Chains A and B, each alone.
Chain A
Amino acid sequence: MSALLSVVDVGKRFRGLIAVDRVSFTVEAGEIFAVIGPNGAGKTTLFNMIAGVLAPNEGTITFRGERISGRTPDAVCRLGVARTFQIVRPFPALTVEDNVVIGALLHRTEMAAARRHARDVLATLDLFDKRDFRASALTLPDRKRLELARALATDPKLLLLDEVMAGLRPTETDRMVEILRGVNRDMGVTILLIEHVMRAVMALAGHMLVLHHGAPIAKGKPEDVVRDQKVITSYLGQESI
């Protein structure tokens, strides 16, 4: 099996309220996979279960054949799953470079090697010139890229992106799409993104999953999914693409 990540019958309840209801899907190595759905569809809950923030009530999540559901976020990251936060959380008082160095130190003990790697990643993400800035001094698009750089510095096999386009203007979105394509193609990182901005999803995703009220209603290639009647009525009908 070449599935990098497989989610099998995963469910999560909060005080009886079903947030995620028996969701299953697989992400193949090397692809870009998107999870979409209206607000409250359970996307973030699903994301948090993969990232180790929440433990599912039922079902299993396996990554490269190893069960990760129920593990802590740091353990999941050490196995090769890096994430970004929807509301970015850079280390504000540290420089841009030191932010990324911390990520690079996950699999490197040598300071010099970590710094080299951090600078490489910064160069890839157009942040090299700003490496001595304090993270708190960056603009939102820059902070989003810093967050991405920090996650990439941990050498992930799988990158989880939580609404990485949120708050970006269209031109900035296009730039981010380009960057993510490069990350996927050149660095060989598989990407799972949770996204609201359909334009970005259509441009990036090879496969997608649509959630509604915690349950999957459609799965497949983007061009097929957007023509699905259920998807159109429940989701796409409300928000223009």
Chain B
Amino acid sequence: MISLWRDMNGRGQVAVALAFLVLLFAPVAATRYLLSVLTLILYFVYVGQAWNLMMGYAGQLSLGHALYVGLGGYISAALWVHFGIGPWLGVVPSVAIAAAFGAAIGWLGFRFGIEGVYFSLLTIAFAEFTRIGFDHIGFVGGAGGLFIPYEESRLGEWWNLRGSQVFFYYLAFGMAVLAVLLTALLARSRLGYQWLAIREDETAARALGIDVFRAKMKAVLISSSMTAVGGVFYAFYYNSLFPAQLFDMSRSIELILGPIVGGTGTVFGPVIGAFVLTPLGEILIAVTEKAGINAPGAKAIFFGLILMAIIYLVPTGVWPWLSQRLGFARRRS
């Protein structure tokens, strides 16, 4: 963490400190709508960062991360709805089960040498398989969905994740900050360097004594566990869960757009990505409404076009380009 701070020059430090303070005091001035958008952004920072660890650092392209969001959300919600077990306790089995799924995918993929596109497809297959499975599990409501009841009397029970918009904002803020710090920490750790080596060249990494299988397994386990916590947040923030919504491939894609647009393998890429894409979506909704185009797909078309433009123009992501432009580039001793 300290090294993250030290690696930035004065301008970078000022910018990060300012952004932190603005976000910290945002609820004072922000409207409820703005706060909900910011909450969503911070949620995407969090899950994007979790995915970034696996793809940006360890180089393993998962296109099925919605699986872990869904498992985390569903398990914690089901424990709460059916047994009254609160999310602070429920997060433990949620993470454990999501990590077990991650371990299964990782083991299959890495033991049997399933790489590149094949590995990505394996992750999609698991997510889709689980989605269809949850459609048929009556205990969690099947395709009809699972709902966390809204109870007026519980509203202040923050320990059960029952709270106001401001509460969820700060929760998301805390999670996002922790995710950024964790990424910074891992990026400068022995494990982080092992991941980079594997991302760049697995054979060379192995020749330098790195146990590639173990390092990759750690990446999947950390990433899936983190993402599952995001799922718990999602469940108690939105209170309604549908397999088609949580596990769908479009969810996995949505989750990884931020880090890719912002810049994979960087600490601030997923942050910038989320802060670019989520407001962009909101602005597109507003603009298309203003322009009188009330077709449901119009916003998405613009979104798709902008996505293509970004990946065409700045393929390594907005953050590396931006930090160069604004003079935040790392100075190296």
Chain A residues within CB distance 8 Å of chain B: 51, 72-74, 77-78, 82-83, 85, 89-95, 98, 101-103, 105-106, 109, 111, 114, 132, 150-151, 154
Contact of A111 among B188, B203, B205, B209 (CB under 8 A): B188
Complex CA gap A91/B193 in Å reads 11
- CB of B201 within 8 A of CB of A83, answer no
Q: List 16 A-B contacts (CB under 8 A).
A: A73-B206, A73-B207, A77-B207, A83-B207, A89-B201, A89-B204, A90-B201, A93-B200, A102-B194, A102-B197, A102-B205, A105-B194, A106-B210, A111-B188, A114-B190, A151-B208
Instruction: Name the CB-closest residue of B to A105.
Output: B190
CB neighbours (8 Å) of B190 from chain A are 105, 109, 111, 114
Contact of A132 among B203, B212, B332 (CB under 8 A): B332
- CB of B193 within 8 A of CB of A102, answer yes
Instruction: Name the CB-closest residue of B to A95.
Output: B332
Complex CA gap A58/B190 in Å reads 37
Contact of B196 among A85, A90, A91 (CB under 8 A): A91
- CB of B200 within 8 A of CB of A94, answer yes
Complex CA gap A82/B207 in Å reads 7
Instruction: Name the CB-closest residue of B to A100.
Output: B208
CB neighbours (8 Å) of A98 from chain B are 193, 196
Instruction: Name the CB-closest residue of B to A156.
Output: B209
B153 → chain A, closest Cβ, in Å? 51
A232 → chain B, closest Cβ, in Å? 35
User: Is B9 in the interface zone, CB < 8 Å from A?
Assistant: no
User: Is B211 in the interface zone, CB < 8 Å from A?
Assistant: yes
Instruction: Name the CB-closest residue of B to A103.
Output: B208
- B residues 175-209 in Cβ contact with A at 8 Å: 188-190, 193-194, 196-197, 200-201, 203-209
CB neighbours (8 Å) of A102 from chain B are 193-194, 196-197, 205, 208, 210
- CB of B211 within 8 A of CB of A91, answer no
B56 → chain A, closest Cβ, in Å? 11
- CB of A91 within 8 A of CB of B207, answer no
B259 → chain A, closest Cβ, in Å? 16
- CB of B201 within 8 A of CB of A91, answer yes
B202 → chain A, closest Cβ, in Å? 10
CB neighbours (8 Å) of A154 from chain B are 208-209
- CB of B207 within 8 A of CB of A85, answer yes
B300 → chain A, closest Cβ, in Å? 33
Complex CA gap A94/B190 in Å reads 15
Q: A83-B207, A85-B207, A93-B200 are in contact. Are A74 and B193 (CB under 8 A)?
A: no
Q: A98-B193, A101-B193 are in contact. Are A106 and B208 (CB under 8 A)?
A: yes
Residue among A85, A95, A103 facing the most chain B CB atoms (10 A cut-off) = A103
Instruction: Name the CB-closest residue of A to B197.
Output: A102
Complex CA gap A102/B197 in Å reads 7
Instruction: Name the CB-closest residue of A to B191.
Output: A105
Complex CA gap A117/B211 in Å reads 21
- CB of B201 within 8 A of CB of A105, answer no
Complex CA gap A98/B332 in Å reads 12
Contact of A74 among B188, B210, B332 (CB under 8 A): B210
Known: A98-B193, A132-B332, A154-B208. 19 other contacts (CB 8 A): A73-B203, A74-B207, A74-B209, A77-B207, A77-B209, A82-B208, A82-B209, A89-B204, A92-B200, A93-B200, A94-B200, A95-B332, A98-B196, A102-B210, A111-B188, A111-B189, A111-B190, A150-B208, A151-B208
CB neighbours (8 Å) of A111 from chain B are 188-190
Residue among A78, A91, A92, A106 facing the most chain B CB atoms (10 A cut-off) = A91
CB neighbours (8 Å) of A91 from chain B are 196-197, 200-201, 204
Report the 8 A-B pairs with minimum CB-CB distance, sorted nearest first.
A77-B209, A91-B200, A89-B204, A106-B209, A78-B209, A73-B206, A74-B206, A102-B197
Complex CA gap A77/B206 in Å reads 8
B136 → chain A, closest Cβ, in Å? 42
Complex CA gap A78/B207 in Å reads 9
A154 → chain B, closest Cβ, in Å? 6
A99 → chain B, closest Cβ, in Å? 9
CB neighbours (8 Å) of A78 from chain B are 209
Complex CA gap A103/B196 in Å reads 12
CB neighbours (8 Å) of A95 from chain B are 332
- CB of A89 within 8 A of CB of B208, answer no
Instruction: Name the CB-closest residue of B to A131.
Output: B332
- CB of B209 within 8 A of CB of A94, answer no
Complex CA gap A92/B212 in Å reads 18
CB neighbours (8 Å) of B212 from chain A are 74
- B residues 210-255 in Cβ contact with A at 8 Å: 210-212
Complex CA gap A236/B237 in Å reads 77
